[in-house]
Amino acid sequence: MTTKRLLKGGTLITASETFEADVLIVGERIAAIGRDLTAPDAEVLDVSGKFLMPGGIDPHTHFDLPMFGTVSSDDHYTGTKAAAFGGTTTVLDFVPLDHPTLEASIRAWRAKADPKVAVDYGLHMNITRWDQAIYEEMARLPEWGIATIKVFMAYNGRLRLQDGEIFQAMRRARELGLLTMLHAENGDVIEVLVEEALAQGHTEPVWHARTRPAWGAVEAALRGAALAAQADAALYIVHMNTAGEVDMLRYAREQGLPVMGETCPQYLFFTEEHLARPDGAKWVCSPPMRTEEDNLALWEGLAQDVIQVVGTDHCPFFFDGTRPILYEGQPVAIPGKELGKDDFTKIPNGVPGVGDRLPILWTKGVVEGPLTPNQFVALTSTNPAKIFGLYPKKGALVPGADADIVVWDPDLKVTYGVRVAQHRTDYNLYEGWELTGFPVKVFLRGHLIVDEGRWLGRPGLGRFLHRTGYGVV
């Protein structure tokens, strides 16, 4: 029997409008939106005083990712469960090119993810080597439901492509209707500075930031936009972290180039000084945190619609992987950032964030900051849906869309931290922060998966999202 639910009396917030309405869910879809809806055979939920928003879409996650002899501590179940508690119902993960072919890499990644995902998910394909076989096999990515590739200007000898190869990959992506994503840093400069730092005995976490200069990100972002222009290709710059990158993105867009940008919460709040703390390894991620001036410029970029998306680059590790935590009643310990206690180059790069994104951004961006509620929805749901070929099935509150709905209590006060966040790790960057506004019910395709702090979801409830195109916003 098809489940019917009627959400009565809520205030809907979309990327463009705020209005009072009821929402009727039939099965997995939104069936109707309007005032004074009735459905005699539906379960009625009173959501008076609550906001209804489309489920969050995080386009940048790394679950179960091998790195430095360990693995990111959230797998495709624990990470997507954490996403749901934070109001995110769709994630996009990255496939490492760890096998001889794209197809083998994708099959292996889906074999890990499909049985575990608790929210809907899609995939991007990392292109970390370039040859004729990769060029030809890229033509099959749409067949496999992947409409995005990612290239790197850093991680020499591991992930990086040379500029000529990036240009060729972008041009091939354009031919196939794919969007190119770019990690913008200068790998050559980083390599020189790391070697010098270690030779001088600098091993502390703060040297992770000091060996990855902001200027390298600035010039790489502009270089990426220039390569995209010459390839006549669209470009999406991931995890923007500097004021100069905002300037470069603004410049590229003013020239009419289809270039888009994403930042992450960690780059809005934290600085290099956090890496200088005794527990500085907690903040080690790539690119690194910068300065307060960069924080402010990124906020300005969001408020002025220069930056289109807030993702997370979620890639958590234990701070101390020698000490187990309890997760769903079972002790878990995974080697983590202690691996680099004597050498910053051995600290696994990454921070938790997939569950933090919406609650943190709401309080700091909407309640206390420069964003409107509609911008919040655009940055965290609607824009990612449009860019990554999911709209209006995702990222929208309209009849026919998937019933991915977050019931948000704007008055709920929460002292946030590791006990509230559901990530499978032993720390949280926002420990002790006082938040106003929090998701209280989360629906995934009409299934109530989070209800007043109770987990009703399960592994495998999420579905793979077969994507065949992209958009420019």
| 46 and 115 share one domain | no
HSE on the CB side for 348, CA within 13 Å?
28
Q: How confident is the model at residue 1 (pLDDT cuts 50, 70, 90)?
A: confident
pLDDT the model gives residue 229: 98
Residue 9 belongs to domain with CATH number: 2.30.40.10
For residue 376, which of 152, 48, 87 has the smallest C-alpha distance? 87
Q: Verify that 104 and 170 share a domain, yes or no.
A: yes
153 with 300, same domain: the answer is: yes
CA 394/CA 382 separation, integer angstroms: 8
Instruction: Tell me what the mean pLDDT of segment 293-320 comes to.
Output: 98
- Does 232 lie in the same domain as 149? yes
In a domain, 469, yes or no: no
Quote the CA–CA distance of 470 and 473 in Å, as a whole number: 10
Task: Judge whether 140 lies within some domain.
Answer: yes
The model's pLDDT over 260-296, given as tens digits with 9 standing for 90+, comes to 999 999 999 999 999 999 999 999 999 999 999 999 9
What's the structural domain count of the chain?
Answer: 2
Identify whether 472 is part of a domain.
Answer: no
pTM of the model: 0.98
Q: What is the mean pLDDT of residues 116-143?
A: 98
User: Rounded to the nearest 5°, which phi and psi values hold at 59?
Assistant: -85, 10
**Full residue range of the structural domain in which residue 18 is found:** 4-53+395-455
Final residue of a domain: which of 387, 407, 435?
A: 387
Rounded Cα distance, 315 and 347, in Å:
13
The pLDDT assigned to 259 comes to 98
Q: What is the mean pLDDT of residues 369-392?
A: 98
Mark whether 292 and 421 lie in a shared domain. Answer: no
Asked whether residue 225 is assigned to any structural domain, the reply reads: yes
Residues 175 and 276 in one domain: yes
One domain, residues 71 and 49: no
Distance CA 315, CA 447 (A): 27
Residue 473 is assigned to a structural domain of this protein? no
pLDDT digits (tens, 9 = 90+) for 130-177: 999 999 999 999 999 999 999 999 999 999 999 999 999 999 999 999
Nearest to 86 by CA among 440, 389, 468, 323: 440
For the chain, what is the mean pLDDT? 98
Residue 222 belongs to domain with CATH number? 3.20.20.140
Evaluate whether residue 462 is within a structural domain: no
pLDDT at position 141, please?
A: 98
